[in-house]
Amino acid sequence: MPRGLGAAGQRTPDVVLAVDIGGTTVKGSVFVDGAEATAERVAPTCEGSSSSLDTVLAVLSTLDQSARSLGHEPTAIGAASPGFVDTRAGVVRGAVNLGWTELPLGSILATRFGVPAAVDHDARTAARAEMALRPDLRDFIFIPLGTGVSAAVVTAGEMVVGAHGQAGELGHMPVVPLGRACSCGELGCLEAYASASAVLTRYLTAGGSAGSAADVSRLVGEDRLADQVWSEAVQALAKAVVTLTAVLDTEEFIIGGGLAASGPILLDPLRRAVAEMLGWRSAPVISASRAGPRAGVLGAALLGRSAHLSSAHDDPGEQ
Ligand SMILES: [Zn+2]
């Protein structure tokens, strides 16, 4: 029987429960054959290891019920998680903000809901959405600038995972010699300058008054302190982009996450700084995320769909 065909000869749809797990919220939606079938559900992430897992399970239970109420039986789960994620094993090796260490999230979800479950790093998951929107783009690096900074590296159309599943931890690339202390214990990491939390903290510490990094971005050009903090963030990010370009000859850098919403206030000076530092070669294209804030959920849907297809491929009963 052809894969995906039921007993009556009708194709069984892919019904994916997709969740994007963040440090502050868990977002999820149901996708049927790649199309979103429900409105997005959002729940605040509860603090604590078991509580944050309970939040994820509660959102997925709601999605499971929503799918069934629409007449669809779920076929897979796709989950985007922050932290160090071993995609092949489906294990979150460590997610500080969630209190997770060596959490076998994939098997927990598969057992609870009775469907294949795939788990991947949040940046790599979001990059899947960018890949789907730009199938022509074979060499790019997706950099979400949020509470932290990470990256997804795609070369020759393939996602780079690395030997330990930790490729793309761009936030801890040293960009300022003996610079600011980073949460990882080192000095001068990119994340200590160009994350949304670093931008806000540095502005407040310098004597400014703002409620978010977005507020700081709106003060650029009007406020000397905002100009200084923003400029240092841009320079730090430019150094990372230049280093990666030198190593990988990347065609395009796609900037996502909360800070990407500042648009040309971030991208214009970043393009200029990168071009100035790359006098010896052409500069890569630097663009804003096409998928925007929904990249994580959209990517999780693609992740779940691939889990369903590989599961069906492995199951002789569905050949
Ligand atoms: Zn660091």
Q: Where are the domains of the chain?
A: 15-126+294-318, 136-289
Of 14-18, 46-50, 91-95, the range with the highest mean pLDDT is 14-18
In terms of CATH architecture, what is 15-126+294-318? 2-Layer Sandwich (3.30)
Mean pLDDT of 107-130: 97
Mean pLDDT for the chain?
A: 92
| pLDDT score at 56 | 97
> How close is the Cα of 301 to the center of ligand 1, in Å?
30
Per-residue confidence band for 249, with pLDDT thresholds at 50, 70 and 90: very high
Q: Taking 80 as the threshold, does the pLDDT of residue 6 lie above it?
A: no
Mean pLDDT of 129-151: 94
CA max distance for the chain? 69
**Which residue shows structure tokens 């779940």?**
304
> How close is the Cα of 257 to the center of ligand 1, in Å?
18
Q: Taking 70 as the threshold, does the pLDDT of residue 262 lie above it?
A: yes
| pLDDT score at 7 | 46
> How close is the Cα of 188 to the center of ligand 1, in Å?
7
Mean pLDDT of 206-217: 96
Q: Taking 80 as the threshold, does the pLDDT of residue 318 lie above it?
A: no
Residue 204, token pair as written in the block? 């407040």
Mean pLDDT of 154-177: 92
Mean pLDDT of 266-295: 96
Mean pLDDT of 80-98: 90
Per-residue confidence band for 275, with pLDDT thresholds at 50, 70 and 90: very high
Domains 15-126+294-318 and 136-289 share a fold: yes
Residue 56, token pair as written in the block? 């994820």
Mean pLDDT of 152-162: 95
Q: Residue 128 CB: number of other CB atoms within 10 A?
A: 27
Per-residue confidence band for 10, with pLDDT thresholds at 50, 70 and 90: low
| pLDDT score at 9 | 52
Residue 223, token pair as written in the block? 């406020």
> How close is the Cα of 174 to the center of ligand 1, in Å?
7
| pLDDT score at 148 | 87
Percent pLDDT > 70 in the chain is 95
Residue 13, token pair as written in the block? 């749809």
With CA atoms as reference, report the closest residue to 308 among 118, 73, 86: 118
Q: CA–CA separation, 77 vs 116, rounded Å? A: 6
Q: Taking 60 as the threshold, does the pLDDT of residue 1 lie above it?
A: no
Per-residue confidence band for 312, with pLDDT thresholds at 50, 70 and 90: confident
Residue 280, token pair as written in the block? 């010896």
Mean pLDDT of 92-99: 88
> How close is the Cα of 169 to the center of ligand 1, in Å?
9
> How close is the Cα of 19 to the center of ligand 1, in Å?
27
Phi-psi sector, 130: left (phi>0), alpha (psi -120 to 50), beta: alpha
Q: Mind spelling out the 3-state secondary structure of the chain?
A: CCCCECCCCCECCCEEEEEEECCCEEEEEEEECCEECCCCEEEECCCCHHHHHHHHHHHHHHHHHHHHHCCCCCCEEEEEECCEEECCCCEEEEEHHHCEEEECHHHHHHHHHCCCEEEEEHHHHHHHHHHHHCCCCCCEEEEEECCCECCEEEECCEECCCCCCCCCCHHHCECCCCCCECCCCCECECHHHHCHHHHHHHHHHCCCCCCCHHHHHHHCCCCHHHHHHHHHHHHHHHHHHHHHHHHHCCCEEEEECHHHHHCHHHHHHHHHHHHHHCCCCCCCEEEECCCHHHHHHHHHHHHHHHHHHHHHHHCHHHC
> How close is the Cα of 182 to the center of ligand 1, in Å?
4
Mean pLDDT of 235-240: 98
> How close is the Cα of 148 to the center of ligand 1, in Å?
10
Q: Taking 60 as the threshold, does the pLDDT of residue 204 lie above it?
A: yes
Percent pLDDT > 90 in the chain is 80
With CA atoms as reference, report the closest residue to 18 among 307, 263, 239: 307
> How close is the Cα of 5 to the center of ligand 1, in Å?
49
Mean pLDDT of 91-109: 93
| pLDDT score at 147 | 84
Instruction: Evaluate whether 109 touches 79 at the Cβ level (below 8 Å).
Output: yes
> How close is the Cα of 109 to the center of ligand 1, in Å?
31
| pLDDT score at 315 | 58
Mean pLDDT of 53-65: 97
With CA atoms as reference, report the closest residue to 97 among 238, 217, 206, 195: 195
The CATH class for the domain spanning 136-289 reads alpha beta
